[in-house]
Amino acid sequence: MVCRRSSLAWLLLAVLLVQGGGSIRITRVRVPSWLEVGGQGDLDCWWEEDADHMYSIKWYQGAHEFYRYTPTARDPIQIFDPSTLDVDREKSWGGSVRIANVSLAAEGPFHCEVSADGPTFHTASDSATLTIIDLPDGAPVIEGVRSYYLAGDWVDLTCTSLKSKPAARLSFSINTEPASPGWLESQKDQLDGDGLTTSSLRLRFSLLPRLLQEDNQVRVECVSEIPGVYRMATYDVLSTNPPYQASVLGGGAAAAGTHSSLALIFPLLLSSMVAHQLL
């Protein structure tokens, strides 16, 4: 009796091993390393079959199924549009799906699930994580620049990069050279209600004479960067030239022109007065 039970157990184990050896399996799941908000990209799922045959392929974002491919169905492709992205039906087939118009909420794990036909109905699944990036709203802005400076004046500038994900990395340079770390405060990142971050960096230094270039100016540049994805720079000029200098020169030229005109008119007036007295 014990021998028969042992033989039956071995038989059942052998059947399970055969079924397991013939099961369907996923070999690779690939998603883009990152997508920009509003962008598009391809999701790919590869699998292998032994004794099993593929019945359907499903794609999930988190727990939400948004794409199903069933080759034996009258309409092989079914799309269940989520609010986080669109599926391009014309460019999707089998285990490959083109997603478009992605939102920030599309970030996270994407699961591929492959199901086998009967009699085993085996199911295999695997996932990969998609990162969504939202670029800053425009170039960085430098605030605090005065109309002109005197040598030795204190300079206090702030560079701001608006609304991005991830937070932009800010840096300052002075006359093309990186600003001294001692002149910089720690970058501040403020998380907005929409999940984006506004970043700011403060630069404070004395306008030393050695910083002035031949034109009595100092060029200050701020760079906003998401490494490997985005880089934008803006600059401003700090000048020790008084802004009214050109106006003074212009006024002097105008005054000289007026004196010249009077010098021409005065002899004519004098001649007219003499002629009137003779009459």
Residue written as token pair 């009459």 = 279
What the chain holds in terms of domains, given with CATH numbers, is 23-133 (2.60.40.10), 141-239 (2.60.40.10)
Give SS3 for 145. coil
Q: Which residue has the tokens 């030393």?
A: 208
- Among residues 99, 91, 96, which one has the least CA distance to residue 41? 99
- Identify which of 228, 230, 229, 212 has the alpha carbon closest to the alpha carbon of residue 220: 212
d(CA 269, CA 169): 73
Instruction: Name the nearest CA neighbour of 52 among 129, 103, 123.
Output: 123
pLDDT in tens, 160-219: 999 999 999 999 999 999 999 999 999 999 998 889 999 999 999 999 999 999 899 999
CB 172 within 8 A of CB 159: yes
Per-residue pLDDT tens digits for 67-87: 999 999 999 999 998 999 999
pLDDT reported for residue 144: 98
Query: For the segment 9-34, what is each residue's pLDDT rounded down to a tens digit?
Result: 443 333 333 344 458 899 999 999 99
